[in-house]
């Protein structure tokens, strides 16, 4: 089936200049401007999103909806044509924020060379979303018949992803992300409530590439450093749902004696060339949780995905993977440290976290 992609950018009149910037950036893709129909009403994105989805032309096979606080990679239309050809019936996200569970799924999946990764968060972000036309029509019909007060509803993302989940759709995110979130003052105060929400792996000048699809359900265990300062392991159950527990407990279940775990961490931190700089910025317990996330991720790659140390080191050197793993620390600490300090800390911790990722087998075999 020939693909006919159409696009819109949703905005509030107070941020129209940002939307026009997005439109100008897409010389090879016509993007329609859609403004908030109740600009003086209660702040909320849902009514504008509804209007934007309903504006999809009849001839569309797929419709892209962008928010005004983004920048897109060069050649977005060409990349999307290639991506849609791989999964023509699936909803697509072009962005995930760097501290999400999905971002960690991306970090694991890019090590295997996948470019389309299942969204594993219950709810997700909507900086850039592509829907097949049939899903757009079903979704807008659902909104019209739902009884929801769309004028005063706030979160467009919640409405969309609750619908997609209820309908049984598998949603994929592109890796690298094709869209980056720009930190603008949020109409919904998300900049204060959530901190900087950037991509785990965005390339502004991404060359054409193959988009390998990770099979849905591939990720069985996802070690994830939460912004609450603790590392969790999320495990998929037989019904496709998820259960979560602290990573330290998961490692103990796998037979790593806790005294050995703590001793290994202390030894690794003491050997870190920039340990003093790290300790001047964050506490040892926080570094321990980051280290656990890398260690557990290495175990997942080794035990569940069949990677030995050499294969994992080669995979980690690939540019997309290297970029994705470089954002683990600043993403996880987005509510704790300024972005640049988070990146500085990430660079300081890189030798320690890389050894944890590559040498996880030592703890399990020791």
- Summarised one tens digit per residue, pLDDT across range 220-231 is 999 999 999 999
In Å, how far are 48, 49, 138, 168, 175 from 146, measured between CA atoms?
Answer: 17, 15, 12, 18, 33
The per-residue pLDDT for 28 is 83
Provide the mean pLDDT of the chain. 93
196-246 pLDDT, tens digit per residue, is 899 999 999 999 999 999 998 889 999 999 999 999 999 999 888 899 999
Question: What does pTM read for this prediction?
Answer: 0.94
pLDDT in tens, 275-298: 999 999 999 999 999 999 999 999
Q: Taking residues 145-152, what's their average pLDDT?
A: 85
Spatial strand order in the sheet of 128-132: 31-35, 5-11, 62-67, 128-132, 92-93, 172-174, 116-118
Rounded distance between C-alpha atoms, residue 149 and residue 73, angstroms = 35
> How far is the C-alpha of 143 from the C-alpha of 138, rounded, in Å?
9
Contact indicator for 171, 161 with CB cutoff of 8 Å: yes
Dihedral sign for Cα atoms in the order 54, 57, 63, 65: negative
- Rounded CA gap, 12 and 48, in Å? 8
Average pLDDT over residues 249-263: 91
What number is the average pLDDT over the span 44-64? 95
CA dihedral 147, 151, 152, 158 (to 10 degrees): 70
Q: What is the mean pLDDT of residues 158-181?
A: 96
Tokens 């392991």 found at = 233
pLDDT band for position 147 (cuts 50, 70, 90): confident
Per-residue pLDDT, 41: 86
- Indicate if the pLDDT at residue 192 is higher than 60: no
Structure tokens given for 196: 């900087």
Residue 366 pLDDT level (bands cut at 50, 70, 90): low
Read off the pLDDT of each residue in 348-352 and give the average, rounded to a whole number.
97
Residue 352 has pLDDT above 60, yes or no: yes
160, 130, 128: which is closest to 50 by C-alpha?
160
Contact present, 106 and 175 (Cβ < 8 Å): yes
CATH 3.60.110.10 fits 5-193, yes or no: no
Whether the Cβ atoms of residue 153 and residue 38 lie closer than 8 Å to each other: no
pLDDT at 94: 98
Query: Of 42 and 79, which is predicted with more confidence?
Result: 79
| Mean pLDDT value across residues 311-333 | 97
pLDDT recorded at residue 247: 97
Please state the rounded mean pLDDT for residues 132-158: 91
Q: For residue 269, what are the contacts with CB-CB under 8 A and spacing of at least 6?
A: 275, 278, 284, 287, 291, 352
pLDDT higher than threshold 90 for residue 149: no
Domain boundaries, the chain: 5-193, 221-365
């Amino acid at each position: 089936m020939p693909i006919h992609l159409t696009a819109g950018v949703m905005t509030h009149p107070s941020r129209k200049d940002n939307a026009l910037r997005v439109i100008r950036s897409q010389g090879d893709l016509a993007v329609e401007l859609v403004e908030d129909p109740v600009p003086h009403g209660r702040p909320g994105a849902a009514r504008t999103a509804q209007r934007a989805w309903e504006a999809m032309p009849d001839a569309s096979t797929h419709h892209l909806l962008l928010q005004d606080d983004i920048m897109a990679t060069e050649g977005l239309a060409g990349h999307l044509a290639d991506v849609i050809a791989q999964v023509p019936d699936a909803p697509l996200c072009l962005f995930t924020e760097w501290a999400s569970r999905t971002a960690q799924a991306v970090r694991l999946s890019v090590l295997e060379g996948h470019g389309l990764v299942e969204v594993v968060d219950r709810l997700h972000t909507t900086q850039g979303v592509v829907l097949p036309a049939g899903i757009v029509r079903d979704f807008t019909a659902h909104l019209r018949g739902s009884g929801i007060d769309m004028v005063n509803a706030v979160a467009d993302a919640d409405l969309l992803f609750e619908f997609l989940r209820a309908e049984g759709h598998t949603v994929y995110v592109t890796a690298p992300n094709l869209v980056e979130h720009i930190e603008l003052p949020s109409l919904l105060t998300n900049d204060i409530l959530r901190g900087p929400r950037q991509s785990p792996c965005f390339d502004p000048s991404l060359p054409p590439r193959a988009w390998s699809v990770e099979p849905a359900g591939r990720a069985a265990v996802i070690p994830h450093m939460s912004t609450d300062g603790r590392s969790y392991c999320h495990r998929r159950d037989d019904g496709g749902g998820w259960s979560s527990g602290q990573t330290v407990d998961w490692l103990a279940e796998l037979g790593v004696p806790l005294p050995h775990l703590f001793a290994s961490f202390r030894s690794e931190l003491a050997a870190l060339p920039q340990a003093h700089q790290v300790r001047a910025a964050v506490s040892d317990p926080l570094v321990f949780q980051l280290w656990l996330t890398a260690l557990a991720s290495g175990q997942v790659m080794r035990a569940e995905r069949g990677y030995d140390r050499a294969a994992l080191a080669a995979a980690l050197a690939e540019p997309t993977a290297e970029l994705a793993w470089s954002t683990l620390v600043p993403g996880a600490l987005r509510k704790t440290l300024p972005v640049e300090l988070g990146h500085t800390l990430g660079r300081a911790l890189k030798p320690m976290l890389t050894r944890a990722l590559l040498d996880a087998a030592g703890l399990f075999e020791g």
